[in-house]
Amino acid sequence: MYQPENRCLALAVVSSARAQTLYVANQASATLSVINTLTDNLATTVATGSGPLGVAASSDGRTVVIANSGDNTVTIVDATSGNITATVGVGNQPTGVAITPNDTTAYVANSSDNTVSVVNLSNATVVATISVGLAPVGIAVSPTGQMVYVANSFANTVSVIAVANNTVAATIPVGASPSGVAAAPNGNVYVSNSADNTVSVINASSSTVANTVPVGAAPFGIAVAENGTAYVANLEDGTVTVLGSTTTAVRVGGAPYGVAVSTDGSAVFAVNKTSEQVSVISTSTNSVSGSIAVPGTPGSFGQFFGPSGPPASVLAAAVLPTSRSVVVGNSATFAATVLNIGAATLNNCQFALPNSFPAGLSLLYQTLSPNGQLTGQPDQPVSIAANSGQGFLLAFQSSSPVTSVSQPLVISCSGTSAAPDVVGLDVPGLTFSTTPVPDVVALAATASNNGIVSTPVGTAAAFAVATDDVGAPGSLTASLDTEGIQLPLILAVCESNSSNGACLASPAPSVAVTFTTGGTPTFSVFITPSAPIPFARASSRVFLRFLDTNGESHGSTSVAVEAQ
């Protein structure tokens, strides 16, 4: 069985014409990323309970329910505002969650006590607890709202719950370690069997398996379109299997955990855990048409729909530098700027760690004056005027080692949803080591001085990077990447002459560098696009990282890139 507690899962699609909003749960950071898929931008970030896994969005678009496996609760969110309306205790280690078509009830699979909790969404209470098979993981409600299907991963069965009386009406043997469930309008129920690489197709009217179909390695999440085509996320081979009139495999990112289909069936979204991205698949070509970066170790489980999502936050934030590496007991400090791009003053603006973060980590924030002097008191919320910004000092400390983690933050003000987490902008990288290590403060500069490299397709462009090692000396490798997003780019870097930017050696994909304490080497990065790249600050970025022999980062910076 593929243990959900060791992974993160949860994706919901809210749709109008093409899917408008994705809700992606991030288990490591205990947050929910809200993504507008019309623009592929992160609209906001919502703090959840510990270890969020399953997510379901109501069909009316007003409610999102998140199953928090780490604290045995579900979080209920008002999707129109992004605010949490209730936290409800359920069974032990809730994983999958599904909402009935009339939007009144959520069914929650509790994998460690072999039950399903029935939650009344109007008053946020558990109204029934149903015993099912061993280790229930995935759960789905039939399109008619009459039946609930539960995948029992240790029992190799599916429990069928009658909604009318909340009792188990049938138990269906399926494949080995069933995980995901999706109920189709045509009367079929699809079940992914993670341990034998198959999908069981259940005839709902007879409660029997009508067919067993081979798919990719370790199928987990599964979703089905209105036309009956099923999509299966294969965790171990990086593909999504399309089960339609023919069977097709689409290669996506690293460790696809779950999938969701837009209401009109034009797009499929696969959340890739290890590459921290959502792959967008065009169903007309069964090929990847784009990618969306999502921080905080994202995953997905299930297929969920609705007509709208919360409005985008009027907050935008950035931190400098983008990463620090210090010794345990010392502070890792950053300068942060929070912009209020709205038309009204925002009050109670503050920083916080999400509900899940590395053990021993703490955060202090304090306002800065325009000239960089500390003002006010530590951890004191402030107001930010309309169309204005406020500077802050952020100071992290840890009582135990932390290895190269991208740490999402909850940056919030009253009157708007939280600022979206964007790696490279407002998600600081942190390393706390037991021994002195290099701590490379890196800053990028573009020709337009706006953090964006814009160039025609086929035309090379460049940006410069200045560094200062404020930590210990050491040998690192300057390496380029696009945060797991597939971008049509040729990338190269060189160490440069600090006075004129000329390369000291031929540019290459990576360069070995020996840093001394206080050393300030500079670099030139060259970018050549081979196809158009639309502007998307969260997804179209080039990163320069300074990596040790274990691949751990000790400094980084990035720029956005667009090509036409």
On whether residue 310 sits in a domain, the answer given is no
**Do 144 and 35 share a structural domain?**
yes
> What are the φ and ψ backbone dihedral angles of 263, each rounded to 5 degrees?
-60, -40
Q: 62 exposed, middle or buried (CB, 10 Å; 0-12, 13-18, 19+)? A: middle
Residue that is last in its domain, among 406, 433, 460: 433
CB distance 439 to 555 below 8 Å: yes
Among residues 461, 426, 427, 457, which one has the least CA distance to residue 446?
A: 461
What's the mean per-residue pLDDT of the chain? 90
144 and 73 in a single domain? The answer is: yes
82 token code pair: 């992004």
**Domain annotation covers residue 498:** yes
Residue 4 has pLDDT above 50, yes or no: no
Phi, psi for 290 (deg, rounded to 5): 180, 175
- On the question of a cis peptide bond just before residue 321, with omega within 30 degrees of 0, the verdict is yes
Q: What is the DSSP letter of 423?
A: B
Does the pLDDT of residue 312 top 80, yes or no? Answer: no
427 shares a domain with 459: no
- Residue 301 resides in a domain: no
Q: Domain boundary residue among 416, 433, 450? A: 433
pLDDT digits (tens, 9 = 90+) for 126-160: 999 999 999 999 999 999 999 999 999 999 999 99
User: What is the CATH classification number for the domain harbouring 62?
Assistant: 2.130.10.10
The reply to whether 368 and 486 lie within a common domain is no
Residues 88 and 219 in one domain: yes
Asked whether residue 497 is domain-assigned, the answer is: yes
> Where a domain ends, among 433, 454, 469?
433
Instruction: Give yes or no: residues 275 and 320 share one domain.
Output: no
The answer to whether 295 touches 543, Cβ cutoff 8 Å, is no
CB 71 within 8 A of CB 89: no
What pLDDT sits at residue 302?
57
Query: Which has more pLDDT, 392 or 256?
Result: 392
Residues 136 and 255 in one domain: yes
Structural domain range at position 511: 440-563
For residues 304 and 99, the answer to whether their CB atoms sit within 8 Å is yes
Looking at the structure, do residues 395 and 488 belong to the same domain, yes or no?
Answer: no
419 and 456 share a domain?
no
> What local confidence, expressed as pLDDT, does residue 306 receive?
47
With respect to residue 305, please indicate whether it lies within any of the assigned structural domains. no
More confident residue, 251 or 21: 251
Q: Could you tell me if 161 and 169 are in contact, meaning their C-beta atoms sit under 8 angstroms apart?
A: yes
348 and 387 share one domain? yes
From CA 68, how far away is CA 225, in angstroms rounded? 27
Tally of structural domains, the chain: 3
| Residue 183 and residue 56 share a domain | yes
The answer to whether residue 108 sits within a structural domain is: yes
- Banded pLDDT at 294 (limits 50, 70, 90): confident
Q: Are 260 and 300 in contact (CB under 8 A)?
A: yes
* 308 within some domain: no
Question: Looking at the predicted structure, is the pLDDT value of residue 311 above 80?
Answer: no
331 shares a domain with 282: no
Domain membership of residue 426 (yes or no) is yes
Does position 376 have pLDDT exceeding 50, yes or no?
yes
Q: What is the pLDDT of residue 296?
A: 66
CATH number at residue 396: 2.60.40.1510
Q: What is the pLDDT of residue 47?
A: 86
Query: pTM for this one?
Result: 0.72
Q: Which residue has the tokens 């045995």?
A: 72
Confidence at residue 300, expressed as pLDDT on a 0 to 100 scale: 61
- Reduced to 3 states (helix: H, G, I; strand: E, B; else coil), residue 409 is coil
